[in-house]
Structure formats: structure tokens, C-alpha cells
Amino acid sequence: MNSLVVVPSRLWEYCIAAIIIILAPGPSVLFVIARAIAWGRKIAVFTVAGNVTGAFVLSSLVAFGLGPILSSSELAYSAVQWGGGGYLVYLGISAIRARKIHAADMRNQGGSVPTFWRSVRDGFWVGALNPKGLVFYAAVLPQFVDIERGQVTSQLLLLGALFSILAFISDGTWGLLAGTARAWLASDEKRLENLRSIGGIVMITLGLLVIASALRDLITT
């Protein structure tokens, strides 16, 4: 009888990859920082709670959609690697090119202080519709699944839940730090531009690593 939960053998490697992509200032992190600059640490933490909930819902949808396909098709697995890696590179380049626009948006949140539920709701949709998260779940996460051990969907769900926990810790820390240093961050738009550029570089690097892994698999098969 197969276990309902199979723990992937490369779990620690996955944690390292997840931490790298989480720490990169992408849409979710920048949204949290923008909220922290505009309204302080409490609103930032509420936003993070909604954000990681949306991210887990997204990872669950990917798990139930991709799990059965990846279990039965090596071609689908390869296509996910190549397509996802290429899209991560595209997102990274786009982030660097639009860094000035993103920095200006972060400084111009304005308006009245959002309520708890509005903060959670806004964070949820940013997390659920985050293209960086979608590509990570679809292209990077499956590489750490032990397909031969079965229960691919449950493995994907486990990895997605772990990602959300790590993201809550990391994004929450970003929000607390940004809320504490809100005046310093908002005083120089260049600092925000540099954050976006760093995120873009990390996404490009991760995308190239995914493509390299796909190329290696192609050569060795």
C-alpha cells in the first residue's frame, strides 16, 4: 500500500531553490514593501498573510493540473522545463527594463489606510496571480519530485505548502524591515530601482539554470 504522502528525496535542495526565488524582489515582495512604505508594518503583515494564501491556492491548482500529466509524460515534463525557464528569463529582463516604473508605483500608493480584510484580499490576488510564482510552481518545483516513487500530486502539494511557509517568513521580514525603514526607502527612488533590478537578475539566473537542467536531461537520455 502506497503512502498518501511521499517526501521527495531532494527536499533540502528544493528549500535552497525556493529561498532564492522567494528572496528575489518580485511582484509579491515589491507589493508588500510598497504597502509597508505607505502604511506601515501592520498592513504589510496582513498583506503577506493574504499573499501566501493566494500563492498556496495557485500551487494547489498547479499540483492537481500538472501532477497527473507529469506522472505519465516525459515530453510534458521537458516542455514545462523549457517553457518555464524561458519565461523566467523573460520576466527577469522585463523587471529590469521596467524598474523605474515599478519604483514610482511603489512610492505612490496613497489613499486611505486599508482595512484588515482589504489588505488580506489585495495580497491574496497578488499572490494568486503572480507570474513568478506560477512559473516556479510549473517549471522549477516539478524538478524536485520523485516521479518513480509515485504520488506526484501529493509531492507537489507538499512542496507548495513548504514554499508558502518560507514565503510567509521571508515576505513578512521584508514587510517589517520596510515598515521600519519606510522614510529611508521612500526618500530615494534609486534604492527601489536597485531592488527591482536584483530581483530581475535572480529570475534570469534561475531561468537559465532551469534551461541548463533541461538541456542536461536531453543530452543524457
What does the pLDDT look like over 164-199, one tens digit per residue?
Answer: 999 999 989 988 987 887 667 666 777 777 777 776
CA distance 154 to 152: 6
Domain membership flag for residue 208: yes
Tracing cell 515534463 back to the chain, one arrives at 77
Domain membership flag for residue 2: no
Q: Nine-digit cell at 150?
A: 509515485
pLDDT of 83 > 70? The answer is yes
In this predicted model, which residue has the larger pLDDT, 55 or 70?
55
pLDDT of 53 > 90? The answer is yes
Q: Nine-digit cell at 200?
A: 530581475
Domain membership flag for residue 57: yes
Domain membership flag for residue 1: no
Range among 35-39, 49-53, 125-129 with highest mean pLDDT value: 49-53
In this predicted model, which residue has the larger pLDDT, 149 or 50?
50
- Residues contacting 75, CB < 8 A, separation 6+: none
Domain membership flag for residue 99: yes
pLDDT band at 153 (very low <50, low <70, confident <90, very high): confident
Domain membership flag for residue 3: no
Domain membership flag for residue 4: no
pTM: 0.70
pLDDT of 157 > 70? The answer is yes
pLDDT of 136 > 70? The answer is yes
Domain membership flag for residue 173: yes
What residue numbers bound the domain in which 154 lies?
11-220
Count: domains in the chain: 1
